[in-house]
Chains A and B, each alone.
Chain A
Amino acid sequence: MSAQTSTIAKGRPVYIIDGSRTPFLRARGKPGPFHAADLAFQAGRALLFRQPFSASVLDQVILGCVMPGPDEANIARVVALRLGCGDKVPAWTVQRNCASGMQSIDCAAHDIAAGRSDLVLAGGVEAMSHAPLLFGNAMTGWLGALRNARSPIKKLQAMAAFRPAYLKPVISLLRGLTDPIVGLSMGQTAEVLAHRFDIGREQMDAFALRSHQRLSDAMRDGHLDEIEVIYAHDGRFHDADDGLRDDSSMEKLAKLKPAFDRPFGNVTAGNSAQITDGAACLLMASEEAVREYGLAVMGQLKDSAWAGLNPEEMGLGPVHAMAPILARNHYDSGDIDYWEINEAFAAQVQACLMAWQDERFCTDVLGMDGAFRAIDEERLNTDGGAIAIGHPVGASGARIVLHLLKTLQRTDSRRGIASLCIGGGQGGAMLLERVDS
């Protein structure tokens, strides 16, 4: 295994100036009130409006998005133009599944570190409720044959070839959440980890309940000021994450049926991340830009890492990505003040926590000298995670980086790590620090 080194640490410093996100809106069985571009636009508009420079001075716009809508090819460019960046600001869209929003930050960071950009809008967006229903190939073939039939007889023949089964839609969202190589759904990969690390239903549900309680407390205490109010055309507005279940309890969670491995599985809709629409944006800058515009710095991106692993255990991705960062920066868990590990599944995060302090796992699988010290759960996902907030796949990476910085700022602490697991068997992590002004 080749040791990754941090190119970010070697280049110019990369600062994160400001950020904002939309409320995360739970999918309710029909397309939500906002297209993906609308979400990213509203988050970006509010963010840019409070800056002392105009949108046109940005060097580029990078957005992560897994499934942009049919009118949103290269959604970053669509959003950049709507934000008033003008013709000359290039924009591109990145896709690394659940980490797309973190990938965009990484791309921006590398360009800033390398001296290619000074001011970048980076973020992620997903409108999962807008994921389309598709026709299968059989239907496409039939339509093609019909269109190519020239004579009336041929047309009739082509028409007669129709079978009702062709109408069965392909639910693109479900396909997207199924690993095409190992054939497991994301939920099933969580079941695999639950089995391997012996995590029971009650444990998972307790973790999920805590996520909701923490989000509820965070809302009460005003810890979510990165959320911008967004307005829909129908005269409604949204100012808070609506996935929160204030009335959740262990009893209620226990009643839910397994969602993926029926009938014996333990992963339910209650202890998994919610299908959600949302966007998060960060403004990133070089030292030059900070000085030129007199920007206040929220934090510095010190390091990032990506790792690959067996797709069946994709949930352990964070462990694989965080380990090299800590190793090369000579930190142990105690040096990290706050952690954000995306809650794709309760079992998956819990598996990460166990692997992290498992001697054999750390030496054999990660190639470390020994295990890490346990992560203090009071410092992990302190304001709730995707189980309560939701997981708009393209946006979550940007959300956890933003919220981690907000937490560091609020608690006046120094260092944090944000990490998530990635469908297909990968992990991504970022090391962030506050800067002495």
Chain B
Amino acid sequence: MTTTKAGSNLYAEIDQDNIAWLHFDTQGSGTNVLSAAVLEDFYKQLLDMEARSPRGLVIVSDKPNGFIAGADVREFTRLENRAQALDAIQRGQAVFDRLAALPFPTVAVMHGFCLGGGLELALACRYRVARDDSATRLGLPEVRLGIHPGFGGSVRLTTLVGALGAMDLMLSGRTVDARTARRMGLVDHAVPQRHLKTAARALVLDPPFPHRPGRLQALSSHAWVRPLVAKLLHRRVAAKARPDHYPAPHALIELWLQHADQERAMMHAEAESVANLIVGPAAQNLIRVFLLQEQLKALGRDAVFHAEHVHVVGAGTMGGDIAAWCALRGIKVTLADQSPERIAPAIKRAYKLFRRRLKQPRLIQQAMDRLMPDHQGLGVERADVVIEAIFEDAEAKRSLFQSIEPRVRADTILATNTSSIPLKEISAVLDQPSRLVGLHFFNPVASMQLVEVVRDVSSDPEVVIRAIKFARQIDRLPLPVSSAPGFLVNRILMPYLLEAVELEHEGVPPREIDAQAVGFGMPMGPIELADTVGLDICLHVAEILGQHLDVAVPQRLRDLVLQGRLGRKSGQGFYRYKRGRPIKPRLPKGYRSDPTVTDRMVLRMLNEVVACLREEVVQEPDHLDAGMVYGTGFAPFRGGPLRYIETLGADTLLQRLQDLEQRFGQRFKPDAGWDVVSGFAKRETSGG
């Protein structure tokens, strides 16, 4: 066996059968990424292979976590203009074209993460083998960054598996496991680790005819059928991603519609299209959001903490779902409440969650086995983390923690899931107030990635860092916030919701209010959101916030709650509900929409954003954007509220706010922090 070390990022071996094995092993990183430097090394290796002409080439990764995680996203942010972007993309295409043109069999052997450019590289091989286990995920998630595959992936995937499968994978950005990939035709073999090399070797030594899409799949690419399919795809995508907000998926459909018949032309068009997209605001903001996520993920990385057992008190919607989520993530959980009656519904919800997420009966059973109903509260003594998720009442929480504190181990984290009560109001009764933190989850727990990790001045920094680490352990995004009333997300969201209530009271149709908010880029309108959360809960939180902040609670909200109109759960709130869906009355004929509706809602939100920044509720301005995007779904293509202020200009927004103050009074009074924000864009972020 001969080994050559060309670049430090990858090396080749030739075995006794004259098969070349090319190993990706990016130096100084735990993950293989396709940076410009790695691509260059790879290109050199390919030239070398061409010269040696082995019997076949097998590409593998030496990283335990996966094959190749994709392009280096940070490089995207350094692109200065479209020409530069186009150049970078075309270079990448050229490398993969070279790989695709090799005259001997080529095989990509994939395990773990194989995403974006990594999968595009594999697609340029003649064959693919994937390791069949739970860690292997294959996908082209580029649309989530506001672009689409650019290294020939959209061309090669369509040719390999057919347009329907290819478009589904690329438009949704979802990842698939090895078996699904095998069914689609994306990989030739899905085999366990023990057969990976044998499978690759077999493909080289006895090369079969490469995979072709099935008849129906092939038909969908026919020139006569394409326009119809494209129309359907456009419509389906538009329901989730409006073209004006998220142009990438629509560009991808167009690319395929126009060029699917000519491979070369499609390659060119693909590069042009990605170059257009990548320098646009949506892609740049989505890339920012992705990097914000990475930033939150990196928090607590150095902390040494691993929870084996979590005890959750309160089996209501939040407590039950937190417990289920922890069990799903592999932790033993005891779920306590006053009686089995209260716990049983949470077990049912957990079972549903596990079934949806895990699918295999064996895995579902394991997760169920980890989740132990505990109506006697025996789990307290064993817990590494105790999470309180009972109803929102300071006195009840105080007495609960008072009874728990003497029973827990000295190093157990005590956490409250309160959404609005300042920590010190609870921790005051503890012997060691410093060990209490907030772990504020959002509803629904399984789909909201954000967790606010709340600390106050008396909190032990060591406990806070462990709580952050715990949030990472259960694959949530920790957002460190200070224990200001309402913390970050709810506090900023509340004025926006209350303004919507105000607008509704003034006679603006709820449908219009929601439509304008969705038009701005929110995932759901504020009226429907309030109904979904429950108007009683909204009122309760608003009242608690009102005690601490200068927020007037609209009478309209109180009236509705008094009438028993609590939102979706009671069948009527602002909307009436039929089978859980709101009935939104049509707008009156000739209704003219008023642009100040969005302005009023968004500016109240932005005013609160500025206040939070001034009060340093978050440690980093970036965290604020991350919190709003991941905690409320704040228009991701806008990159977060601060990025939005930056884009429109603080002065402009301040002016609009002052105008609104003149018209509507006090509640639009600009926060003192606008002075600070005016220079925000240039502000250096302080580390730590």
A contact residues vs B (CB 8 Å cutoff): 41, 45, 49-50, 82, 229, 231-237, 239
Does B347 contact A233, Cβ atoms closer than 8 Å? Answer: yes
**Of listed A41, A231, A234, residue having the most chain B CB within 10 A:** A231
Residues on A with C-beta less than 8 A from B351 are 233-234
- For chain B, residues 352 to 379, give those with C-beta under 8 angstroms from any C-beta of chain A: 365-366, 368-369, 372-373, 375, 378-379
Total residue contacts A-B, CB cutoff 8 A:
39
- The 4 lowest CB-CB distance pairs between A and B, nearest first, are A235-B348, A233-B351, A237-B344, A237-B340
> What's the least CB distance linking A395 to chain B, in Å?
20
Give the secondary structure class of A's interface: loop
Does A237 contact B369, Cβ atoms closer than 8 Å? Answer: no
CA distance A232 to B343 in the complex (A): 11
> Taking A49-B378, A50-B378 as contacts, is the C-beta distance between A231 and B343 under 8 angstroms?
yes
Of the A-B pairs whose beta carbons lie under 8 Å apart in the complex, a sample of 22, sorted by A's number, is A41-B369, A45-B369, A45-B372, A49-B372, A49-B378, A49-B382, A50-B378, A82-B365, A229-B340, A231-B340, A231-B344, A231-B347, A231-B373, A232-B347, A233-B347, A233-B368, A234-B348, A234-B351, A236-B344, A237-B343, A237-B344, A239-B340
Residues on A with C-beta less than 8 A from B365 are 82
Q: CB-CB contacts of B335-350 with A at 8 A, as 1s and 0s?
A: 0000011011101110
Kindly report which residue of chain B lies nearest to residue A234, judged by CB atoms.
Answer: B348
CA distance A161 to B290 in the complex (A): 66
Residues on B with C-beta less than 8 A from A49 are 372, 378-379, 382
CA distance A290 to B514 in the complex (A): 66
Residues on A with C-beta less than 8 A from B366 are 82
Residues on A with C-beta less than 8 A from B373 are 229, 231, 237
Given contacts A82-B369, A236-B344, A237-B347, 15 further A-B contacts (CB under 8 A): A41-B369, A45-B372, A49-B378, A82-B366, A231-B340, A231-B347, A231-B373, A233-B347, A233-B351, A234-B348, A235-B345, A235-B347, A235-B348, A237-B340, A239-B340
Does B340 contact A233, Cβ atoms closer than 8 Å? Answer: no
Residues on B with C-beta less than 8 A from A233 are 347-348, 351, 368
Does B375 contact A229, Cβ atoms closer than 8 Å? Answer: yes
> What's the least CB distance linking A288 to chain B, in Å?
25
Residues on B with C-beta less than 8 A from A239 are 340
> What's the least CB distance linking A379 to chain B, in Å?
31
**Of listed B348, B349, B366, residue having the most chain A CB within 10 A:** B348
Does B369 contact A235, Cβ atoms closer than 8 Å? Answer: no
CA distance A233 to B345 in the complex (A): 9
Residues on A with C-beta less than 8 A from B382 are 49
Give the secondary structure class of B's interface: helix
Kindly report which residue of chain A lies nearest to residue B382, judged by CB atoms.
Answer: A49
Residues on B with C-beta less than 8 A from A231 are 340, 343-344, 347, 373
Kindly report which residue of chain B lies nearest to residue A35, judged by CB atoms.
Answer: B365
Kindly report which residue of chain A lies nearest to residue B345, judged by CB atoms.
Answer: A235
- For chain B, residues 530 to 554, give those with C-beta under 8 angstroms from any C-beta of chain A: none
Kindly report which residue of chain B lies nearest to residue A233, judged by CB atoms.
Answer: B351
Q: CB-CB contacts of B117-159 with A at 8 A, as 1s and 0s?
A: 0000000000000000000000000000000000000000000
- For chain B, residues 312 to 355, give those with C-beta under 8 angstroms from any C-beta of chain A: 340-341, 343-345, 347-349, 351
Residues on A with C-beta less than 8 A from B375 are 229
> What's the least CB distance linking B381 to chain A, in Å?
10
Kindly report which residue of chain B lies nearest to residue A238, judged by CB atoms.
Answer: B340
CA distance A112 to B338 in the complex (A): 39
CA distance A41 to B341 in the complex (A): 21
Residues on B with C-beta less than 8 A from A232 are 347
CA distance A41 to B365 in the complex (A): 11
**Of listed B344, B349, B372, B379, residue having the most chain A CB within 10 A:** B344
Kindly report which residue of chain A lies nearest to residue B379, judged by CB atoms.
Answer: A49
Kindly report which residue of chain B lies nearest to residue A83, judged by CB atoms.
Answer: B369
Residues on B with C-beta less than 8 A from A50 are 378
Does B341 contact A237, Cβ atoms closer than 8 Å? Answer: yes
Residues on A with C-beta less than 8 A from B340 are 229, 231, 237, 239
CA distance A82 to B368 in the complex (A): 10
Residues on A with C-beta less than 8 A from B341 are 237
> What's the least CB distance linking B218 to chain A, in Å?
32
Residues on A with C-beta less than 8 A from B343 are 231, 237
> What's the least CB distance linking B220 to chain A, in Å?
36
- For chain B, residues 374 to 400, give those with C-beta under 8 angstroms from any C-beta of chain A: 375, 378-379, 382
Residues on A with C-beta less than 8 A from B344 are 231, 235-237
CA distance A49 to B375 in the complex (A): 13
- For chain B, residues 396 to 422, give those with C-beta under 8 angstroms from any C-beta of chain A: none
> What's the least CB distance linking A397 to chain B, in Å?
26
CA distance A46 to B209 in the complex (A): 57
Kindly report which residue of chain A lies nearest to residue B372, judged by CB atoms.
Answer: A45
CA distance A45 to B343 in the complex (A): 17
CA distance A235 to B365 in the complex (A): 15
Kindly report which residue of chain A lies nearest to residue B332, judged by CB atoms.
Answer: A84
> What's the least CB distance linking B366 to chain A, in Å?
8
Residues on B with C-beta less than 8 A from A234 are 348, 351
CA distance A235 to B340 in the complex (A): 10
- For chain B, residues 7 to 57, give those with C-beta under 8 angstroms from any C-beta of chain A: none
CA distance A431 to B503 in the complex (A): 79
Residues on A with C-beta less than 8 A from B369 are 41, 45, 82
Q: CB-CB contacts of B250-263 with A at 8 A, as 1s and 0s?
A: 00000000000000
- For chain B, residues 254 to 294, give those with C-beta under 8 angstroms from any C-beta of chain A: none
CA distance A288 to B365 in the complex (A): 35
Residues on B with C-beta less than 8 A from A41 are 369
> What's the least CB distance linking B526 to chain A, in Å?
32
Kindly report which residue of chain B lies nearest to residue A50, judged by CB atoms.
Answer: B378
CA distance A50 to B351 in the complex (A): 25
Residues on A with C-beta less than 8 A from B345 are 235
CA distance A236 to B344 in the complex (A): 6
> What's the least CB distance linking B14 to chain A, in Å?
40
CA distance A82 to B369 in the complex (A): 7
Residues on A with C-beta less than 8 A from B349 are 235
> What's the least CB distance linking A293 to chain B, in Å?
15
CA distance A236 to B7 in the complex (A): 62
Kindly report which residue of chain A lies nearest to residue B354, judged by CB atoms.
Answer: A233
> What's the least CB distance linking A20 to chain B, in Å?
12
> What's the least CB distance linking A54 to chain B, in Å?
10
Residues on A with C-beta less than 8 A from B379 are 49
> What's the least CB distance linking A84 to chain B, in Å?
8
CA distance A49 to B370 in the complex (A): 12
CA distance A45 to B366 in the complex (A): 13
> What's the least CB distance linking B346 to chain A, in Å?
8
> What's the least CB distance linking B320 to chain A, in Å?
11
CA distance A235 to B382 in the complex (A): 26
CA distance A23 to B144 in the complex (A): 51
Q: CB-CB contacts of B55-87 with A at 8 A, as 1s and 0s?
A: 000000000000000000000000000000000
> What's the least CB distance linking A51 to chain B, in Å?
11
CA distance A233 to B372 in the complex (A): 12
> What's the least CB distance linking A132 to chain B, in Å?
18
> What's the least CB distance linking B321 to chain A, in Å?
14
Residues on A with C-beta less than 8 A from B347 are 231-233, 235, 237
CA distance A213 to B367 in the complex (A): 40
CA distance A170 to B343 in the complex (A): 40
CA distance A235 to B352 in the complex (A): 10
Residues on B with C-beta less than 8 A from A45 are 369, 372
> What's the least CB distance linking A2 to chain B, in Å?
47
CA distance A45 to B344 in the complex (A): 17
> What's the least CB distance linking B61 to chain A, in Å?
30
CA distance A237 to B375 in the complex (A): 12
CA distance A32 to B103 in the complex (A): 62
Residues on A with C-beta less than 8 A from B368 are 233
Residues on B with C-beta less than 8 A from A236 are 344
Kindly report which residue of chain A lies nearest to residue B370, judged by CB atoms.
Answer: A84
> What's the least CB distance linking A376 to chain B, in Å?
36
Kindly report which residue of chain A lies nearest to residue B347, judged by CB atoms.
Answer: A231
> What's the least CB distance linking B315 to chain A, in Å?
11
Kindly report which residue of chain A lies nearest to residue B366, judged by CB atoms.
Answer: A82
Kindly report which residue of chain A lies nearest to residue B348, judged by CB atoms.
Answer: A235
CA distance A215 to B347 in the complex (A): 29
